[in-house]
Amino acid sequence: MTVVMPIIYLLIGAVIGFVASKFLSASEKENKRLSAKVSENEAALTQYQNDVAEHLDSSAKLLEQMNATCQTAMKQMEQSTALLQRATPSEADAMPFFSQETQEQLARTVKLRHSKKENVEPESITEAPLDYSGNPSGLFDDKKQSVTNAE
């Protein structure tokens, strides 16, 4: 019996060890899977942070370029305004829109037109305007019209 008891204890210990290893290895596999998932998520987060930082950096550069372009445009507008103000001639030095010859012809034409109007005497109006007809068709009356193109 002295030999049988240690063998029984050995078998019981082996069964308990086998069962314990099965439970521990399953939880260990789960731990490994979860730690791999955590490391994946950490890598994805780091990549996302890098992408956001890169995007913000490029946006800042674009805004700086836009600001520089606006400043350049403002300077050009100021220079153009200054040139226009400097180039505006006085009325005595201004170049006429029409040549001297054309201005004389326009003045003669205006004089001729005004002289004709002064000589015209108003006539007494006895007739209706031409857009009124003496024979109304009845098209706009509330009467029902007959259809002429009916079969």
Which positions ≥6 away from 125 have C-beta within 8 Å?
none
pLDDT in the model for residue 73: 96
Determine contact, residues 114/107, Cβ cutoff 8 Å.
no
The pLDDT of residue 144: 65
Question: Given this model, what pLDDT does residue 69 score?
Answer: 97
Q: Report the pLDDT value the prediction gives residue 88, as an integer from 0 to 100.
A: 64
* pLDDT in the model for residue 145: 60
Tokens of 141: 């009356």
Q: In the chain, what are the helix, strand and coil shares in percent, each to the nearest 5?
A: 70, 0, 30
Residue 26: its pLDDT value, please? 75
Q: What is the dihedral of CA 18, 24, 25, 30, to 10 degrees?
A: 160
- For the chain (length 151 residues), average pLDDT per consecutive 10? 84 88 79 92 96 96 96 95 78 71 88 62 63 65 66 56
Q: What pLDDT is stored for residue 92 in this prediction?
A: 55
Q: What is the pLDDT of residue 136?
A: 65
pLDDT at res. 112: 81
User: With contact defined as beta carbons under 8 Å apart, do 122 and 128 qualify?
Assistant: no
